[in-house]
Copies of this chain bind each other. A is one copy, B any other.
Amino acid sequence: MSITFQVHRRDGAARTGSLATPHGVVETPMFMPVGTQATVKGLTPDQIAATGATIILGNTYHLTLRPGDELIAEMGGLHRFMCWDKPILTDSGGFQVFSLTSQRKITDAGAKFRSHIDGSPLELTPEKAVEIQQNLGSDIAMVLDECPPGDAPPDAMRDAVRRTILWAERCKRHHTRPDQSLFAIVQGGTDLDLRAECARELVAMDFPGYALGGFSVGEAPAAMHVALPTCAALLPDHKPRYLMGVGRPEDLLEGVAAGIDLFDCVMPTRSGRNALAFTYDGPLRLRNARHRRDPAPLESGCPCYTCGHFSRAYLHHLFAADEMLGPTLLSLHNVAFYLRLMADARAAIVDGRFGLFRDRCLARWHPAP
């Protein structure tokens, strides 16, 4: 096992910890910016690091299609290829197979489907998912799982859980890379019995870390917030817990409250490209004409490059004029905001006031009517 994880402080179910990987230590709870195609969209590695990010996520499905995991291995691995020398976690491609591809056929052997780029026929098996991630050389790899939509019928959900357990075992058996850790993924939707069964089986296999999958696929946020504490408690206390693909700032706070350590989501970068900025005072839509003459920064007191240099008026202008720099500067602020939120959450846990911190944030973002 190439990672170590230590829990430091607790505040209810919330906890701080350190996750040591071959490329450095990650303080948890932590948010991982998403670098789908070997780039966090619009940001250089220097800009990403300047937001305070200490770990990013790469997408196995996208990278095996383009430029190809063997090419990346030949170029010295994903860290060197994209020039990011801090930790990387790669997903297994399962989620993308179930959300992006067409003509899917899932059997116990694996998934057959058509590429979303050129329609060419492809196959992803548990073994193949491991091989790809070993080629990429991420610090943390994920097992291949089946990700049915949140509203899948009970039979489909049960079958997905059975297959996820089967595939996890095959991934573990096939995994050999000593400088990479393989995490398992618990599925089961909002059926807590199914989640418990899935977790029990996977915990028995003794993975170095565990994720909750299936919460980003059409799950209503309220249902997720209710299910999260129970689901998180199904995972071993002394191992890192990762809530995949979630989410909004409020979802991260609910996750931290439930005892989650790691998060990822495209929201800060995707919203940034769409002129939506996150702040402690709630979201700002920079295309809105009311920002046209506003000399204030996005968020006063924010130490990011964008807030340290530019006015809302300038950012409004960049989006009105369709300039590339707008998406870059807003993505940069949003990623920095997510990481500041996590840093503030860690500080609040250490001080034993995380509940208060969360409640104050939620009250600001969703004021009572």
A interface with B by C-beta (< 8 Å): 37-39, 41-46, 62, 66-67, 71, 74-76, 81-83, 292-293, 295, 305, 309-311, 313-314, 316-318, 320-321, 323-325, 327-329
The residue on B at minimum CB distance from A71 is B293
List 17 contacting pairs A-B, 8 Å CB cutoff, sorted by A.
A39-B318, A39-B323, A39-B325, A42-B325, A42-B328, A43-B325, A44-B328, A45-B309, A67-B320, A74-B293, A75-B295, A76-B295, A81-B311, A81-B317, A82-B314, A83-B309, A324-B328
A44: which of B38, B62, B325 is its contact (CB, 8 Å)? B325
Do A323 and B75 touch (CB < 8 A)?
Answer: no
Question: Which chain B positions have C-beta within 8 A of A75?
Answer: 293, 295, 311, 313-314
* Chain B residue nearest in CB terms to A313: B75
Q: How far is the CB of A107 from chain B (nearest CB, A)?
A: 30
A313 to B325, CA, bound (A): 24
Question: How many angstroms between the C-alpha atoms of A44 and B42 in the bound complex?
Answer: 11
> B310, A83: Cβ atoms under 8 Å?
yes
- Inter-subunit contact A67/B313 (CB<8 Å): yes
Task: Assess the B41–A320 pair: CB atoms within 8 A.
Answer: no
Besides the contacts A37-B323, A67-B321, A81-B317, what 18 more A-B pairs have beta carbons closer than 8 Å?
A: A37-B318, A39-B323, A41-B323, A42-B324, A44-B325, A44-B328, A44-B329, A66-B317, A67-B316, A67-B317, A71-B292, A71-B293, A74-B293, A76-B295, A81-B314, A83-B309, A83-B314, A324-B328
Tell me which residues across on chain B come within 8 A of A81, comparing CB atoms.
311, 313-314, 317
Chain B contacts of A310 at CB under 8 A?
83
With most chain B CB atoms within 10 A of its CB, the pick from A44, A74, A320, A329 is A44
Q: Within the assembled complex, what's the spacing in Å between the Cα atoms of A75 and B39?
A: 34
Q: Are A292 and B39 in contact (CB under 8 A)?
A: no
A323 cross-chain contacts in B, Cβ below 8 A: 37, 39, 41
User: In the complex, A313→B67 CA distance in Å?
Assistant: 9
In the complex, what residues of B have CB within 8 A of residue A324's CB? 41-42, 324, 327-328
Q: Which residues of B contact A67 (CB under 8 A)?
A: 292, 313, 316-317, 320-321
